[in-house]
Each structure stands twice: as C-alpha cells, then as structure tokens.
C-alpha cells in the first residue's frame, strides 16, 4: 500500500493528478446554475421552459449547457416527446437524486445561516 487508503480526501485534495477526483465534482457543484437546476428537478421532472421560467436570469445558452452537462454526468435524464411543437422533459436519475439530496442540505444550511453570515459581513466591513 503506497499511502492513500480508504477515502483519503484531505491529502490529495487539490492536486492536478490525472485522477484528481475532487475538482471534477466540485466544479460541477460550483458552476453557476447546476445546483439551482438540480434543486428544481428535485421536486419532480420539469419541461425545458418550466426550468427557464423558474430560474429566471439564466440564459437559454446556459440552461442548455447546464442540462447537457448534467445529462453527460448521468445525473439528469432527457426525454423528448416528438410532438409538434416538441416537448422535452428533464428528470433526475437515481444517482442525480442522491446528489440532489446533498445539494438540498446545502440550501437548507444557506437558509438557516444567511442572517448570521450577513451580520458577520457587516461587522467585518465596519473594520
């Protein structure tokens, strides 16, 4: 065993080894819209236009890019119903749901602590 047994995150944390596992996932969570999209899909499948309206501020370009990227990672499933006009639905995959659960925890945290954070910022900025 050459070190790094079990889930030894702390020491391989930011290295850009070919196998750097963290960056990949963190970038996914880190980008501007993925978390928002996943959270929305957490309450059930949505059409493209529903997402677009719900998120409000996202460009068509970024919504598509985000969805494609989530699909590529196997987190979201895209279903096309070739009617006219076409209808496209997006839903979390089972794996996507497990990530969505984590994300949900994050959002809950944000809700619960935003007052504290805001206050802390004011204090900090006053000095």
The answer to whether residue 31 forms part of the interface with a second copy (CB under 8 A) is yes
- Residue among 40, 43, 42 nearest 52 (CA): 40
Q: Of 83 and 123, which CB lies nearer to a second copy in the complex structure?
A: 123
Q: Which of 20, 43, 68, 119 binds DNA (CB under 7 A)?
A: 68
Q: Are 69 and 34 in contact (CB under 8 A)?
A: yes
Task: Report residue 123: phi and psi, to 5°.
Answer: -60, -50
Please choose, out of 17-25, 29-37, 94-102, 108-116, the segment that lies near DNA by the rule CB under 7 A.
29-37
Asked if residue 45 binds a second copy (CB under 8 A), the reply is: no
Query: Residue 53 touches which of DNA, a second copy, none (CB < 5 to 8 A by kind)?
Result: none
Nearest to 92 by CA among 49, 51, 32, 31: 51
């Amino acid at each position: 065993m050459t070190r790094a047994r079990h889930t030894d995150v702390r020491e391989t944390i930011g290295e850009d080894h070919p196998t750097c596992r963290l960056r990949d996932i963190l970038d996914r969570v880190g980008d501007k819209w993925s978390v928002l999209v996943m959270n929305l899909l957490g309450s059930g499948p949505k059409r493209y236009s529903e997402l677009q309206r719900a998120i409000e501020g996202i460009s068509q370009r970024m919504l598509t890019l985000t969805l494609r990227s989530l699909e590529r990672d196997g987190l979201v499933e895209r279903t096309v119903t070739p009617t006219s006009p076409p209808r496209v639905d997006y839903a979390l995959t089972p794996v996507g749901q497990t990530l969505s659960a984590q994300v949900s925890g994050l959002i809950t945290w944000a809700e619960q602590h935003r007052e504290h954070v805001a206050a802390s910022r004011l204090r900090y900025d006053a000095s």
